[in-house]
Amino acid sequence: MEVTTPGRICLFGEHQDYLGLPVIAMAISLRISITGKQRNDKQVVILKSDLNETEFFSLVDLKYSKPRDYFKSGIKICQKNGLTFSNGFECEIKSQIPINAGTSSSSALNVSWIHFLSKIADNSKNWDQKKIGELAFDAEVTEFNEPGGMMDQYSTAIGNLIYLESQPRISIKKLNPKLGPFILADSGEPKNTFEILKRCRDSRQKLFKSLITKNPLINIHSCDEDIDLSDLNDDEVKLYFGTIKNRELLISALHELQKKIIDKRLIGKLLYEHHTILRDDLKVSTPKIEKMMDAAMNAGALGAKINGSGGGGCMFAYAPNNSEKVVEAIDSVGGKAQIIYSDEGSKFLN
C-alpha cells in the first residue's frame, strides 16, 4: 500500500499559530510517499531511501530511544485511538520535499505515517484528513512537548489552500483562489528549527503574559496599538507591534483571497510586508535569503517571504507571470529554485 502527502508553504501567519493566531497555508506540489506491507513478525523496518538509512524496532518495545522518535510515537497515538497491530511492517520512504528547510518535511512524514498506519492496522480506519492532521500533531508536538503550532500537520493533511484557526476551537476553511505558480528556493543553509521556534514563541508568550497581568482584558486576537507599553523595552515593543501587524496582514489577505477576482499584485505586496516583519522584528532571515529575495523581486516577482521557522532553509516568491525568469535569477545568486503549485492533501493510493 502507498500513502502520499504534500509539503507546505505558509503564506500568512508565519510564527503566529503557536500563539493561537490564525494562518493561511498552502500545500505544495512536492510530496513524500510511504510504500509498505505487513510482515509475519513484530518487527518494523523503515527504509529511508533519500538518506540511505534504515530504522528497525519492534512493536513489542515502543519505548522512545531518541529525541523526536516519531515512528514510535505515531504508533502509540494510533493505539490510543483504537488501532491494533498484530504484525509488524516494512516500508520505504521517498521524498521530494527539502529536508529541514521550512517546508514541513517532518510533518508531511508524520501525516503520511499516521495515514499509513490507519490503513495497515488490524482494524483499518477511513479517518478523514482533519483527523489525520490532528493525530499527526499529537504524535509530533504534543507527545514531545515541542514548541510548534498545528499549521504544518493540518495543512499537509488537508491540502490546497486553507485558513486555519486554532482558538477558541479548531476551524478550517478551504480557500480556492487560482493563484498560479510560486517559486520555492532552498538557500542550502542549515537551520535549528527547534531553537528558533522556542526563541520566537517564548519571547512573545512572556511578553503577552506580562501585558495580560497588567491588563486582564487584553486579547491577542483584538488588541491594538492603543495600549500601555511603558513597561516594555525596545525589543519587546518591536515584538508586540510585529505580532499585531502580522495579524492584520493576514486579515487583509484573507479578505482578498475570498474574492472571485483576486488582486495578485496586492497578495504579492502583503507577502513581502509579512517578510519584512519576520526579518526586522523576529530576526529570522539571513543575508543569503535576502540576496535570493532581492534577486526574485528584481526579476519581477510580485512578492516573496522566508518560509518556516527561518534562520536558513527556504524562501518562496510569488511569480504567476514570469516564473522561469525568477527561477533563473534566484539560481544565479546561489539558491536552488523550482516552480511549485497548490496541491491536494494526503491520499491513500492503493
What residue ranges do the domains of the chain occupy? 2-177, 182-340
- d(C-alpha 309, C-alpha 192), whole Å: 9
Cα 190 to the center of its chain, rounded Å: 17
Mean pLDDT score, 190-206 = 83
The answer on pLDDT for 96 being more than 80 is yes
Could you read off the pLDDT of 263-320 as tens digits, one per residue?
999 999 999 999 999 999 989 999 999 999 999 999 999 999 999 888 899 999 999 9
The answer on pLDDT for 253 being more than 90 is yes
- d(C-alpha 188, C-alpha 219), whole Å: 39
Average pLDDT of the chain, as a whole number: 93
If one counts every other C-beta atom within 10 angstroms of the C-beta of residue 271, the result is 22
250: CB partners within 8 A, 6+ apart:
12, 13, 16, 21, 22, 23, 24
Residue 31, CB-side half-sphere exposure with 13 Å CA sphere:
20
Could you read off the pLDDT of 216-237 as tens digits, one per residue?
878 888 887 777 788 888 888 8
The answer on pLDDT for 81 being more than 90 is yes
Mean pLDDT score, 80-89 = 96
Backbone angles phi, psi at 248, to 5 degrees: -70, -35
41: CB partners within 8 A, 6+ apart:
87, 88
- d(C-alpha 7, C-alpha 131), whole Å: 18
The answer on pLDDT for 147 being more than 80 is no
CATH superfamily of 182-340: GHMP kinase, C-terminal domain (3.30.70.890)
pLDDT value, residue 125: 95
Cis, peptide link before residue 177, omega less than 30° from 0: no
Mean pLDDT score, 92-110 = 92
Cβ atoms 27, 7 nearer than 8 A: yes
pLDDT value, residue 164: 95
pLDDT value, residue 177: 83
Reading the block at residue 39, the C-alpha cell is: 510482515
> CA-CA distances (angstroms) from residue 206 to 91, 199, 211, 222, 264?
43, 11, 9, 18, 37
In this predicted structure, which of 94-98, 124-128, 175-179, 264-268 has the lowest mean pLDDT?
Answer: 175-179
Share of the chain above pLDDT 90, in %: 73
- Of 83, 90, 85, 75, nearest to 36 by C-alpha is 90
Mean pLDDT score, 162-181 = 90
Cβ atoms 177, 163 nearer than 8 A: no
Cα 230 to the center of its chain, rounded Å: 35
Question: How open is the CA angle 306-309-311, to the nearest 5 degrees?
Answer: 70
CATH number of the structural domain 2-177? 3.30.230.10
pLDDT value, residue 23: 96
